[in-house]
Chain A
Amino acid sequence: MVDAQNTVKKDKPVFRNIGLAQLIHYRLPWAGKVSILHRISGAVLFLMLPFLLYLLDQSLASELSYQTFQAITGHFLVKIVCLGLIWCFLHHFCAGIRYLLLDLEIGVEKSESNRSAIVVFILGLTLTAIVGLKLFGLY
């Protein structure tokens, strides 16, 4: 009897409809793309907190450390990293405001929500471009 139960348990079908290899085939709507990027950008910012705090420390501690701060952030590779973090912040910021508005039941209609997701996506990239041009001294 016990054996019989075990075989029944073993034969239970397992539905694994999520596999890592399938991730690239996912066709997410814009809201879904904004959402997963919101999560990824948040996680990146979390992991880079010590670096960002270090930069703040150098920029505030003294005039001498401020020069160190300028030297560090003047480096090309650091600028690239900073630009990535700036995008993370801006995307997280814009997507977060979208969620706050959705919580207030603003723009919850399907078409509006799709449009606001695209706006968040474009706004994040545009603002990053504006800050990036400043960062690389193009204006």
Chain B
Amino acid sequence: MPIYQIGPKRLVVGAHYGLKEWIIQRVTAVVMVVFTVVLLVDYCITGSATYEGWSALFSNQLMKLLTFLAFFSLFYHAWIGIRDIWMDYIKPVSIRLTLQVLTVLYLIACAVYAVQILWKV
């Protein structure tokens, strides 16, 4: 019997995605911090908010990639966070599963919208 199979008869320690998701939540957080700092530095350098400056920032290839990474991180981070909320407060499996599925669909829709926005710039 593998060591993680705690309990005499059945597996009681979940699906082993705890550590993976825990690390992903932290990595995605760091990506978003970097993105925030870049935006802040750009604002401090340019000083004023104009359409030209704003759209030029996002049409830069490197910035586009970083923005895409930040958005991807945001949606993955949000998924883990909201999943944790459902797991903490919603006990009936059917309702929890429904909410989790809706959360995933909602986040995928948001991700598609985000890609469209970045594509246009």
Q: B26 to chain A: which residues have CB within 8 Å? A: 100, 103
Known: A53-B117, A57-B117. A46 touches B33 (CB 8 A): no
Which DSSP category, helix, strand, loop or mixed, fits chain A's interface?
Answer: helix
Question: Taking the nearest CB of chain A, how far is it from the CB of B78, in angstroms?
Answer: 5
CA–CA, A92 and B78, complex, Å: 12
Q: A57's closest neighbor in chain B, by CB?
A: B117
- Across the interface, do A60 and B121 meet the contact criterion of CB distance under 8 Å? yes
Q: Is B48 an interface residue (CB 8 A)?
A: no
By size class, the interface of chain B is 20 to 34
Q: Give the number of residues in A that approach B within 8 Å (Cβ atoms).
A: 20
CA–CA, A100 and B114, complex, Å: 27
Q: B117's closest neighbor in chain A, by CB?
A: A57
Q: Is A50 an interface residue (CB 8 A)?
A: yes
Q: Is A11 an interface residue (CB 8 A)?
A: no
Residues of B within 8 A of A (CB): 26, 29-30, 33, 36, 51, 54-55, 58, 78, 81-82, 85, 106, 110, 113-114, 116-117, 120-121
Residues of A within 8 A of B (CB): 39, 42-43, 45-46, 49-50, 53, 56-57, 59-61, 63, 66, 93, 96-97, 100, 103
